[in-house]
Amino acid sequence: MKPFKFNYLRPTSVEETLQYLEEYGEEAKILSGGQSLIPVLNMRLSTPKYLIDIGKVEGLNYIREEDGYIAIGALTRHVDVEKSQIIREKCPLLSEAIHWVGHAQIRNRGTIGGSIAHADPSAELPCVITALRGEIVIASTSGEEIVSPEEFFLTYLLTSLQPDQMVKEVRFPVLNPSSGSAFVEVARRHGDFGIVEVAAVVDLDEKGEISFARIAVGGASPVPCAVEPAEEFLIGKSPTDEVLKEASDMAAESVEPDGDMHASADYRRELTGVMTLRALKLAVDRSKECTRI
């Protein structure tokens, strides 16, 4: 099928984009890398009257470290994140996760802002930003605001973005060099959206006890889910198999999976426990390597 007729707008600055959004926001869609939106338009699941193509907007393609964050401009492509040395060093969790996003062709076109705004609960970047308690910078003609992933992701493919707003920047906290992180996923084939994925970060103190923990699960709830009770439970404990298993069981209890053609709800819950354990063990091993415990 072909998309419904639309008016094509091609701004070259953030200001121009925001003006268009103010004027046409209710009837418009932003087009970024097009990897999710174009199929949706072709299937006529969305029929916007205006398409605002931000591909030529200047100043939104960057990766930089500032104030303890890796700040990534909304138009930065997955491939640039994949190749970034600074992300590999400062936020290895993101580096590991990005390889799971689709195939090379998709990572060449798809953008960070698009992935976050599309809010697929099985997508890797929403899971990582939720685990790390990152920030999303949203802009409109009234100014900018910073929202947490918890405020931003509302449910399947729905965010708190208003019609006159765009995602301008996404911020991932820099990880402590002594921490270990792991991103694990089960998908039918590499490149498919994950059935369940888990992002975990663990830091160990000089006694070898857990001093910091982050866990998020994607694909098993309507939004990526930070498992705070398990994170709190881990603090101050030695990372024994029993302790990590108990935290993984807590993760499995905390998700709200739905069944679909790829997996039943029960399977997704079971997988959440298995994958959380796998991610935690890997993160602990990597932290031990960093701290040489």
| Site residues (vs ligand FAD, CB under 6 A) | 29-37, 74, 101-102, 106, 110-111, 113-115, 117-118, 123-124, 161, 166-167, 193
Contact 210, 287 (CB under 8 A): no
Helices (H), the chain: 14-24, 37-42, 78-83, 85-90, 92-98, 104-109, 112-118, 124-132, 149-152, 228-234, 241-254, 265-291
CA end-to-end span of the chain: 58
Token representation of residue 106: 């998709």
Nearer to ligand FAD, 123 or 201 (CB): 123
Nearer to ligand FAD, 102 or 239 (CB): 102
Measure the CA–CA gap between 89 and 180, rounded to whole angstroms. 12
Q: How many CB atoms lie within 10 A of CB 224?
A: 28
Nearer to ligand FAD, 36 or 178 (CB): 36
Burial class (CB in 10 A: 0-12, 13-18, 19+), 197: buried
Helices (H), 133-264: 149-152, 228-234, 241-254
State the nearest-atom distance from the C-beta of 121 to ligand FAD, in Å. 10
Nearer to ligand FAD, 99 or 288 (CB): 99
State the nearest-atom distance from the C-beta of 283 to ligand FAD, in Å. 21
Contact 208, 285 (CB under 8 A): no
State the nearest-atom distance from the C-beta of 157 to ligand FAD, in Å. 8
Measure the CA–CA gap between 101 and 97, rounded to whole angstroms. 7
State the nearest-atom distance from the C-beta of 7 to ligand FAD, in Å. 15
- Give the 3-state secondary structure of residue 46: coil
Nearer to ligand FAD, 111 or 287 (CB): 111
Measure the CA–CA gap between 93 and 96, rounded to whole angstroms. 5
State the nearest-atom distance from the C-beta of 207 to ligand FAD, in Å. 38
Nearer to ligand FAD, 153 or 247 (CB): 153
State the nearest-atom distance from the C-beta of 25 to ligand FAD, in Å. 10
State the nearest-atom distance from the C-beta of 197 to ligand FAD, in Å. 9
- Give the 3-state secondary structure of residue 10: coil
Nearer to ligand FAD, 61 or 291 (CB): 61
